[in-house]
């Protein structure tokens, strides 16, 4: 009887966490992107306002060195010259440490900035946080931010395999408007 009770409680708790993650509010399209300042893998500080005048692809991902996150990062790296040609920068954010980002970039040959959000403050502000086995991780969401600093496009529940191609297509369309 205790096992059934415990299983029921665990199931309800999981459901509540899933529902909480699904009901998070991301910044709205057309509204100013929340500014932030985070540490990169090389130890420097990066603020969103540093990129005014450029398009920014701000992507949140769960964890360095995991299969989906590595695939997503590789695809952004593969397409980096296309983003640069479009006047866009890529910034990745997770709750990993700056040292983890440094190691991840070195191992995977990544040449764009990964930002450490170990207290999950920025991830939470962007409605991109989830609970996984008692730990907070960034949810796989992406934001295209226009040169004025406004949210131009929001992606939630991103599929890593085709995401970079979709962002490039949407970026091209957004630049036409």
The model's pLDDT over 84-131, given as tens digits with 9 standing for 90+, comes to 999 999 999 999 999 999 999 999 999 999 999 999 999 999 999 999
Q: Quick one: pLDDT band at residue 1, thresholds 50, 70, 90? A: very low
pLDDT above 70 (res 10): no
Within 8 A by CB and 6+ apart from 1, the residues are none
Judge whether residue 43 has pLDDT over 50.
yes
Burial of 8 (0-12, 13-18, 19+ CB in 10 A): exposed
Write the pLDDT tens digit of every residue in 154-168: 999 999 999 999 999
pTM of the prediction? 0.86
pLDDT: which is higher, 52 or 6: 52
> The tokens 């397409």 sit on which residue?
79
**24 confidence band (pLDDT: 50, 70, 90):** confident
Catalytic residues: 69
User: What is the overall mean pLDDT for the chain?
Assistant: 89
Distance CA 135, CA 42 (A): 25
Share of the chain above pLDDT 70, in %: 87
Query: Can you name the CATH fold of 2-176?
Result: Glutaredoxin (3.40.30)
Pull the structure tokens for residue 171. 């970026």
Q: How many beta carbons lie within 10 A of that of residue 147, not counting itself?
A: 15
Picking from 24, 48, 19, the residue whose alpha carbon sits closest to that of residue 156 is 24
Domain ranges of the chain: 2-176
């Amino acid at each position: 009887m205790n096992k059934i009770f415990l299983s029921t409680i665990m199931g309800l708790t999981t459901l509540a966490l899933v529902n909480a993650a699904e009901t998070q509010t991301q910044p709205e399209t057309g509204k100013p992107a929340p500014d932030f300042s985070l540490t990169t893998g090389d130890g420097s500080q990066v603020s969103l306002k540093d990129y005014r005048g450029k398009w920014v692809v701000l992507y949140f991902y769960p964890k360095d060195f995991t299969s989906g996150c590595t695939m997503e990062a590789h695809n952004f790296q593969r397409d980096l010259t296309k983003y640069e040609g479009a006047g866009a920068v890529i910034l990745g954010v997770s709750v990993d440490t700056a040292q983890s980002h440094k190691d991840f970039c070195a191992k995977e040959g990544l040449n764009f900035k990964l930002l450490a959000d170990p207290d999950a403050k920025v991830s939470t502000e962007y409605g991109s946080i989830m609970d996984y086995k008692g730990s907070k991780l960034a949810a796989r969401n992406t934001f295209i931010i226009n040169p004025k600093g406004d949210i131009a496009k929001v992606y939630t529940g991103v599929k890593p395999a085709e995401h970079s191609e979709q962002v490039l297509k949407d970026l091209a369309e957004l630049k036409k408007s």
